[in-house]
Amino acid sequence: MLFLFTGSVLPDSWLADGLRYLAFGYISIDILLRARAGYLRRRPYWTPDSWRRFLNACSVPVGALVIMVLMITALEWKLPMVGGSGSATRGFWAAGTIVFMVIGVVGLVTAIEWLNQGDPSRQFALPRWLTLGRGNERSGR
């Protein structure tokens, strides 16, 4: 976090860019190592059905991140649907991008924490909000 702050305070230079990349790399590596550790904890115990349910739960945040990237790309390419600079449409576009980013990031971090916490032999069950009213009879609850 100190590198991110220092990179934002310094004027645009190679040092500021380097510090930002270093911070992003550290955070990314930490998340990947936590995901790998959780995967190795659960691998001997989870069934293929449990892994499918986990990947189904991960599809929501991954989809939100894909939508966010597409929205940012549309903004970068200055597509007409984004709206003009300072317009209400552009404001809604920016707000939507932030909402999708938060859903994606918080969702993936939550999924990684699901892997790392609890009894590894307990099979993964979809959260109630993701089942959309369907019965949770196959999830072991």
127-141 pLDDT, tens digit each: 776 676 655 444 444
Distance between CA atoms of 39 and 47, rounded to whole angstroms?
Answer: 13
Distance between CA atoms of 85 and 22, rounded to whole angstroms?
Answer: 32
- Give residue 3's pLDDT band: very low, low, confident or very high (50, 70, 90): low
Closest to 123 (Cα-Cα) out of 7, 65, 19, 44: 44
pTM (whole model) above 0.95: no
Distance between CA atoms of 139 and 19, rounded to whole angstroms?
Answer: 44
User: Any idea what the Cα angle at residue 101 is, between residues 29 and 73, rounded to 5°?
Assistant: 100
Q: What is the dihedral of CA 30, 36, 40, 42, to 10 degrees?
A: 90
Closest to 61 (Cα-Cα) out of 127, 116, 16: 127
Averaged confidence pLDDT in the chain:
85
